[in-house]
Amino acid sequence: MAEDPKDGHERYRREGDHICLDLRLRSPRQLFDSRDPAPFRDRDLDPEAEAYFMEALEELPRKAAVKLVVHFTEPEEAGLGPAEIAAAIQAHMVHEEEEAGRRLRRFMRQAQVGAVAALAVLLGCLFLSGWLHRRMAPGDLREAVREGLVILGWVALWRPLESFLYDWVPYRARRREFRRLSEAPIEVKFPDQR
């Protein structure tokens, strides 16, 4: 199928409606993290392989259908056939999607706790500002202390508000990217399979 020059993703091969993220390796052992002691199907992908898929996905439109294609130059090993490798890749992506969801929920809980603490600081500063305003003699010092406490209270809200408005977005985006990869078709090719 000819590539659509309008989509701007000429560096990726197309198969039908899917944009293929092709990864070429020597053997299946290169695809998985050798430090991971888990059984093969539960192993983590090598960080560089995962980074390649994630970075390639970021270059594509959000709605683009993708397909993961892994090419090996060495022949298939016993027990490490295309079906087992594809299942292991998908299991990794599903696990990472779930982990990204847990990180997002943990972040939001921490942001909520921070917001409650910041609100308490703001209320305390406003109360103290009013109390000092009534107790101190009029003058520049009283106004400086009062304004300083009000500013301190609002500054305490800065970080929690930033978390609620902006900082959660990368967590959600990462989760969405892993979901796309976990739902993508996966094809594994060895030299004897053309």
**Angle between helix 169-183 and 47-58 (nearest 10):** 100
Q: What is the spatial distance between Cα 34 and Cα 56, in angstroms, rounded to a whole number?
A: 23
**Same domain assignment for residues 109 and 88:** no
pLDDT of residue 191: 87
**Same domain assignment for residues 132 and 119:** yes
> Higher pLDDT residue, 72 or 137?
72
pLDDT of residue 123: 94
Place 38 in a pLDDT band, splitting at 50, 70 and 90: low
> Higher pLDDT residue, 45 or 8?
45
| 1 belongs to a structural domain | no
Residue (of 24, 63, 12) closest to 187 by Cα position: 24
> Higher pLDDT residue, 80 or 156?
156
Mean pLDDT rounded to a whole number for the chain: 87
DSSP string, 1-24: ----TTSS-TTSEEETTEEEEEEE
Model confidence pLDDT, tens digit, residues 123-136: 999 999 989 888 88
Whether 8 shows a pLDDT value over 60: the answer reads: no
| 96 belongs to a structural domain | yes
Instruction: Please tell me the total count of domains within the chain.
Output: 2
Domain that holds residue 154: 101-173
| 6 belongs to a structural domain | no
Place 80 in a pLDDT band, splitting at 50, 70 and 90: confident
Model confidence pLDDT, tens digit, residues 103-117: 999 999 999 999 999
**Same domain assignment for residues 163 and 116:** yes
Read off the pLDDT of each residue in 157-180 and give the average, rounded to a whole number: 92
**Same domain assignment for residues 73 and 31:** yes
Whether 34 shows a pLDDT value over 90: the answer reads: no
**Angle between helix 82-135 and 140-162 (nearest 10):** 170
**Same domain assignment for residues 107 and 93:** no
Residue 161's Cβ-count burial label (10 Å; 0-12, 13-18, 19+) is middle
| 4 belongs to a structural domain | no
pLDDT of residue 29: 83
**Same domain assignment for residues 87 and 109:** no
**Same domain assignment for residues 61 and 39:** yes
pTM for this prediction? 0.77
**Same domain assignment for residues 55 and 116:** no
Strand bridging mode 65-72 / 186-189: parallel
* Contact (CB, 8 A) for 69 and 23: yes
**Same domain assignment for residues 31 and 93:** yes
